Amino acid sequence: MASEVPVAFAVDGPQTRSQAPLTTLAALAAQDFSVSAWYSPKGEMFDGEHSVKYFANHRFGYIKGASEDDSYANHAWQGVSRSPTSVLSPNLVYWPLDGSLSFFCYAPYREGDTDIVLEDPVTDAGVIARLPDYLPGSPLIRVTPAETAAGQADFLCAPPLLDRDRIDEGGAFPLDFSKHRMTQVEFGFNYIGTLVDDDVLNIHEKVRVTSVEIQQVIGSRYFYFKESPSNGVDGAWSELVSPSDPSGADFPKASYRISTAGGELKTGLDANLPEQGSGTYLTVRKEDTLDGVFCLLPQTVPAGASLVVSYNIVDDYAGVRGSEVITVPLCSDPPTDHPTLAVWPAGKKVRYLITLDIPNRGFVSMTAKYYDWNDANNPHPGQELMY
């Protein structure tokens, strides 16, 4: 039986932390997150035997009062509903009268069979054996990034909160969304050479990238919760259990594309690739937005994965003089062909730097490095933000 105390997460005092790609609390408040809870009877702890599902994939958010300032420090994050016009209204869930709840939370909130889906706890002993340190009784989360960069989400998942009582910490607990679980992938380009029918590109002729597509990389994985004596509770990506093949590790492949209806990812002078001799690369994004940055699953890059790049030779006065499409292996064989990354690490930003070979309609070189993804475009990465 439920009590009259709503489930909530803290704003005052210890705060929920986030590194979502948002810069203001107002923007954070526009985002919701998913909360699922399992109930354990009084005297029992969360496990796969005594605990039962209490509620699953409930939307939590922040309803700002009409006269409230922008501090977002007057209330807690609670259950909400969001209308088609994005208006929030209370949709509270309540603590049980006794026992405890264990919480499993991720962001952003998704409803139905979309890119982020909550699945039932694992009961098959063979599957559990291939999920190292699996927390018995905990749900799985299936993550399948959208095909376009604009539709992809920065999936954040908090470590689980186990065996909490409504009287602990005032009944409002801080969540930790500070770990990026995905890999951010972006591309920088320059070029070498000239058009085959000219001695040089004249001052009015430029090279512009029109689309970028990553082909045949892992497109769906399970994120699961784990517990170990040395590391406590957290989450990890499954290496040996595939959404398309739970009995094995045959992961589904997918392709991801950045393109625009207008034909060029960027326009104006900022769209022109630099020459190799300049020592610089142009990072290709759709008009300098995050729509030109992929948010993909961490993985060992599969053999056969490739990058397909389309570009134009553009005359300032005559328009497009020529177009080309080239394919660059992402995982070279042998690896010495061009330095590449065998692994996309979780929580990192991977940047590929490619030099296009204009006369030979190919590429001269590609290098790849990864960097820390600490702030995710948040200028105050050390600030505690209420998510």
Instruction: Looking at the structure, tell me whether residues 228 and 254 fall in a common domain.
Output: no
Range with the lowest mean pLDDT among 31-35, 232-236, 360-364, 380-384?
A: 380-384
245 within some domain: no
Q: Are 177 and 189 in a shared domain?
A: no
Q: In whole angstroms, what is the distance from residue 33 CA to residue 59 CA? A: 6
Q: Is 68 left (phi over 0), alpha (psi -120 to 50) or beta?
A: beta
Task: Tell whether the model's pLDDT for residue 269 goes beyond 90.
Answer: no
The pLDDT tens digits of the residues spanning 21-36 come to 333 445 456 668 899 9
Residues 41 and 102 in one domain: yes
Kindly state whether residues 203 and 125 are assigned to the same domain. Answer: no
Query: Is a pLDDT exceeding 50 seen at residue 158?
Result: yes
Whether residues 195 and 332 share a domain: the answer is: yes
Which of 340, 347, 274 shows the shortest CA–CA distance to 307?
A: 340
**Residues 208 and 328 occupy one common structural domain:** yes
The pLDDT value recorded for residue 125 is 93
Closest by alpha carbon to 173, among 346, 291, 1, 13? 13
Task: Give yes or no: residues 151 and 23 share one domain.
Answer: yes
Q: Does 213 share its domain with 303?
A: yes
Q: Considering the domain boundaries, does residue 387 fall inside one?
A: no
- Judged by DSSP in three states, 222 sits in strand
User: Do 159 and 194 reside in the same domain of the chain?
Assistant: no
Whether residue 125 lies inside any domain: the answer is yes
Tell which wins on pLDDT, 155 or 339: 155
pLDDT surpasses 80 at 166: yes
pLDDT of amino acid 171: 65
On whether residue 244 sits in a domain, the answer given is no
What pLDDT is stored for residue 379 in this prediction? Answer: 36
* For residue 380, pLDDT beyond 50: no
pLDDT band of residue 113 (cuts 50, 70, 90) is confident
348 near 184, Cβ under 8 Å?
A: yes
Q: Give the lowest-confidence range in 11-20, 258-267, 275-284, 288-297.
A: 11-20
Domain match, 231 and 306 both: no
pLDDT at 118 (0 to 100): 96
DSSP E strands, 15-99? 17-18, 33-40, 52-61, 77-82, 88-90, 94-96
Boundaries of domain holding 22 = 2-181+221-237
pLDDT value of residue 356: 92
DSSP 115-176: SEEEEPPP--HHHHTTSTTB-TTPPEEEE---SBGGG----EEPPPEEEE-TTGGGGEE--E
347: domain CATH number?
Answer: 2.60.40
Higher-confidence residue of 374 and 331: namely 331
pLDDT tens digits for 193-247? 866 555 455 556 788 888 899 999 999 999 999 998 888 899 999 999 999 887 7
Does residue 205 share a domain with residue 66?
no
Residues 36-94: tens digit of each pLDDT: 999 999 999 998 888 999 999 999 988 777 666 666 555 578 899 999 988 889 999 99
Total structural domains within the chain = 2
Q: Per-residue pLDDT for 265 more than 80?
A: no
Q: Indicate whether 215 and 127 sit together in one domain.
A: no
**Statement: residue 13 has pLDDT above 60:** no
